[in-house]
Amino acid sequence: MHHLPTPEEWKTILDTGKIQHFEAEQTIIQQGNRLQRLCFVIKGTCTVVMNKSDARKKADVLLEIRELEQGDCFGAEQILLGGESRQSLIAFSPCDICIIEANDLKQLITENVLIGSSLMKYLATYLYSTIGCLTKSPTSQLSGVRFSE
């Protein structure tokens, strides 16, 4: 794809964040969290889940939305659209996650407009392909858009 981050730009982007290790079943981002941050899976796998109310059962139901693996990201929706996280991110296996806080991302974009522009295009494309896969629209035919190291 044109104008998406190059490998050198990905290095700069990921250097902006901090890599944190999570054990299996550990919550990385809790649904409802208002902190805006990007999470990139460096190693391991994670599961995106959502609590939904089931009026018939008068209980909450935990829905598994998708699995993330190396190269996938979480948090694009909050960065691009704002608001709270609509899902939780849970470590499925021991994993390393690069977490970039919104303020650090803003500083990166301000200091390097070209990287910022390509990153925003990447996030928009990633979000579009993810939502397309969830809604089973024609975009579900797209292969996953992942960062490359």
Beta carbons of 1 and 125 less than 8 angstroms apart: yes
Residue 97, domain member (yes or no): yes
CATH number at residue 27: 2.60.120.10
Beta strand 88-91 pairing with 27-29? antiparallel
Please tell me the predicted confidence (pLDDT) of residue 45.
96
Residue the block writes with tokens 């999470």: 39
Q: What is the pLDDT of residue 147?
A: 55
Count of structural domains within the chain: 1
Instruction: Tell whether 137 is covered by a domain.
Output: no
Residue 143 resides in a domain: no
Cα 29 from Cα 85, distance rounded (Å): 8
Average pLDDT of the residues in 25-37: 90
**Residue 98 lies in domain:** 15-129
Give domain status of residue 87, yes or no.
yes
Determine contact, residues 130/89, Cβ cutoff 8 Å. Answer: no
What gap in Å lies between CA 129 and CA 140, rounded to an integer?
7
| Residue 18 reports pLDDT greater than 50 | yes
* 145 belongs to a structural domain: no
| Sequence-ordered strand ranges (E) for the chain | 18-22, 27-29, 37-43, 46-54, 59-68, 73-74, 88-91, 95-101
* Domain presence at residue 82: yes
User: Does 41 map to a domain?
Assistant: yes
Determine, yes or no, domain membership for 90: yes
pTM: 0.78
